Structure 1
Amino acid sequence: MHVLTRQKNVVIKASMALSLLFMNGMSAAQEKPPLHYENWGVCPFECCTYRDWTAEEKIPVHRGRDERSPVVFQLQKDEQVMALTGVVVTEKPIPVKINKTVKDGFIQKDEAPQLTLHSGDVVYFLTPLGEGYFKFWYRGNVYDSGDNLRAALPDHGVSTMTWWKLVRNSQGNMGWTRSDKFNNVDACG
């Protein structure tokens, strides 16, 4: 009986240790964004707008967000489509070490910065938003940058990302393309 109690205690302690290791691993994993982080609805530069676009050349449009996905229709040069939305998939975010304390990190519907970032903290650059602003990952959450963070960052490079656009042609067919060969994307120019 005494041996069974000891074995049960060993099993319980081992289970607790494994649970702690698993929980620590999960919190560490939240420090970095997931692989292939998807930013839905983002237009990745200043004045970028989903609206009527015009193809600059022949462009294949796929059923899914994969170049191997079947082509559902082919846009011809000067053909107009409605750009409905998009998703920027960040394959390789850039870790950026903060070089001075700043208050920054904005979320929708809140005008106050949500974070106090200190020298040495690391944020992960996800998607550009234009004019030096960007979406970033910090400890499991996504924020929009503001002026303070933009001024506190060293040259950080650019994340590896793919911008997929969902378009609809005049016949009502819809599909996805990675092509950047469209006019009328920039509402400022």
Structure 2
Amino acid sequence: MNRLLISFVMFILCCPGAAAQEQPPGNFENWGVCPFECCTYRDWTANADIAVHESRNNQSAVVFRLRKDEQVRALTGVVVTEKASIVRIDKTVQDGYVQGVDKPQLALKAGDVIYMLAPLGEGSYLFWYRGKVYTSGAGLAAMPGVDGKDAKMTWWKQVENKAGKRGWTASDEFSNADACG
């Protein structure tokens, strides 16, 4: 009886934590990214009338409204991944980079599952694997589903108008966000 109780306690203590790390948390937040090639936070121009909210919620109070052709300072942003895209690795690949290390940290093999969290531009993505976050490299570029199109994510931008008021918008109706032209 004692062994059964110990086994049950070990299962409760060990297994849920391990399973929880296999998938990323819901509403994963990736702060500071500008999620496309050459994306830059700087002065942007509104391409339409845009409501700017008090918080990262379209139901929150509108702090100010941008008019079409009005300039605003884009300060930062956060990509919130509500649902990550699931990618099943189809062949052995070395990939998974972390800041400050030039070599891939993972030896992924056929059947492994990674979760695409957000695009970073230039064919690079942020992904989750066994409880850790990595940046993808060339090894994952040709993998089916790596583009994250099945993911559900929202890119919130914090902007400041000429009067110094700050707020949040999920609108993509801006020009001059692309530093490449």
Identical aligned residues as a percent: 57
TM-score normalised by the chain length of structure 1: 0.89
Q: 2:97 aligns with which of 106, 114, 123?
A: 106
Task: Tell me, in whole angstroms, the C-alpha distance in 2 between the residues paired with 1:135 and 1:155.
Answer: 13
**What does 1:18-57 align with in structure 2 at a 5 Å threshold?**
18-57=9-48
Supply the distance in 1 between the matched residues of 2:19 and 2:145 (Cα, whole angstroms). 26
Post-superposition offset of 1:128 = 1.1
Residue of structure 2 in register with 1:59 after alignment: 50
Question: Is 2:159–2:166's contact at 8 Å kept on the other side of the alignment?
Answer: yes
The Cα of 1:25 is off from its aligned counterpart by 0.9
Q: 2:86–2:145: 8 Å Cα contact kept in structure 1?
A: no
- Matched length: 179
Between stretches 128-137 and 67-76, larger displacement belongs to: 128-137
1:186 matched to 2:173? The reply is: no
Matches within 5 A, 1:76-155: 76-151=67-142, 153-155=143-145
Larger Rg: 1 or 2? 1
Q: Given the superposition, is the C-alpha separation of residues 15 and 65 from structure 1 closer, same or farther in structure 2, using an over 3 Å criterion?
A: farther
Distance 1:110 1:137 in 2: 17
Superposed CA offset, 1:65-96 (max 9, x none): 00110000111111111101100011111110
- Comparing both structures, which one devotes a greater share of its residues to helix? 1
What are structure 2's unaligned runs of at least 5 residues? none
| Aligned partners of 2:21 and 2:130 also within 8 Å | yes
Counterpart for residue 72 of structure 1? 63
How far does the alpha carbon of each residue in 1:118-158 deviate from its partner, in whole angstroms, 9 at most, with x for none?
1110000110122322110000011110001113x114551
Aligned amino acid, residue 154 of structure 1: P
Deviates more, 1:127-136 or 1:18-27: 18-27
Counterpart amino acid of residue 128 in structure 1: P
Unmatched segments (≥5 aa) in structure 1: 1-8
2:165 aligns to what? 173
Structure 2 residue 164 is the aligned partner of structure 1 residue 164 = no
